[in-house]
Structure 1
Amino acid sequence: MTVTLNVPPRPLTVHDVTALAEADELHCFELTEGNLVVIPPRTLGHQHSASRLGVWLMNHGFPGRTGLFVGLKTTDDDLNGRVPDVAVTKGYVPGETVWIPAENVLLAAEIVSAGSERTDRWFKPLEYAAAGIEHFWRVEPDGTVLRFRLVDGAYAEIGKDPLDALLAGEVPDLD
């Protein structure tokens, strides 16, 4: 299947990406320095892990504050936006909000899968840390959840658990 996108001949903004996403529901789009990043549909396993983590967070103290695959502005300009697999906001964000400012995000979580390894392990944590997001979790392909907290502008690992074990307990302190 071929999808033709009408991409403007300039650095893109999160508003442009929103319009592209409305025209092409098969892909997820992110933005880095005005450059479009096209992400193929997530696998069923990827979606399953994100859903389990998101539902667990919703049921354990973060209802109305947990979202799956939401837009996240990682800078003050409109040239950078990521889509974490799971995000927890610091408070209520209206449902029609497409791009949540990073200062409103408490936790960003990424599920590592084929094709996203470097981005999820290296680039996104650097962006999220620079944006001041306090917590970053990464779910590895083997089901290990690495939990990080922002310390002096960089993430420090604070925990490592199998996903099933993490979901069997209470949510580690996020506030």
Structure 2
Amino acid sequence: MSEEPGMTAVPKLPLGPLTLDDVTAIAEADGRHRFELVEGNLVVMPPGTWRHQQISGLLFTWFQTNGFHDRVNFAPGVRTAADELNGRIPDLVVTTRPVPPDTVWLPVDVVLLAVEIVSKGSERTDRWFKPLEYAAAGIPNFWRVEPDESVLRFRLDGGAYREIAASSLAELLSGAVPDGL
């Protein structure tokens, strides 16, 4: 099968719901996209914009220089349910402890913070759906970086996120990582 310019060949997919193992295999065959799994349904996302990636890099570097050396990473897979049918790819994750280097899908109990950078085309997902899933999974902290580069920080409270602080990205990066995030 020949590909048109800009098109990606789709691998043969199973007839039933996809699993996280299926998504891992798809991602290995296509390094240009990011893939998430919601109730066994594949969600395909394009690479982030230049600024999106810069913000990820700034946050990563900030965490690295503030003592989170082996506990922060770009766009790792996170299991968002106890089954094999749900996994998201936050833009950045901070873990509670170092993670084995061959880990593909993080167990939710090691995720201390999930960060989403809102981009055109993912606004509703980043603002509404992912926070609901992360809260239901028990991720204690969630940050959202808006297009105006404001950073909204949330903490899990009774099964839902409660906003605890808001600042500009520049203001956040000029200080130390907040206690408890």
The bucket for the TM-score relative to the shorter chain is over 0.9
Deviates more, 1:158-167 or 1:54-63: 54-63
Deviation at 1:132, TM superposition (A): 0.4
- Secondary structure at 1:16 match in 2: helix
Structure 2 residue corresponding to 1:72, chosen from 78, 96, 99: 78
Matched with 2:3 is none
Aligned partner letter, 1:32: V
- Secondary structure at 2:109 match in 1: helix
1:41-120 to structure 2, matched below 5 A, reads 41-120=47-126
Deviation at 1:7, TM superposition (A): 1.5
Give the conservation status (yes or no) of the 8 Å contact 1:106–1:174.
no
Deviations 1:38-95 (A, max 9, x none): 0011111101001111110111121100010100000111100000001001101011
Matched with 1:140 is 146
Matched with 2:8 is 3
Where does the alignment leave 5 or more consecutive residues of structure 1 unmatched?
A: none
Deviation at 1:37, TM superposition (A): 0.1
- Secondary structure at 1:172 match in 2: coil
Q: TM-score, normalised by structure 1?
A: 0.98
Deviations 1:121-155 (A, max 9, x none): 00000000000000000000000000000000100
Deviation at 1:10, TM superposition (A): 1.1
Separation in structure 2 between the aligned mates of residue 41 and residue 53 of structure 1, nearest angstrom? 18
Where does the alignment leave 5 or more consecutive residues of structure 2 unmatched?
A: 1-5
Give the conservation status (yes or no) of the 8 Å contact 1:66–1:88.
yes
Q: Find runs of 4+ consecutive structure 1 residues off by over 6 angstroms.
A: none
Give the share of equivalent positions with the same residue, in percent: 58
Matched with 1:14 is 20
Q: TM-score, normalised by structure 2?
A: 0.95
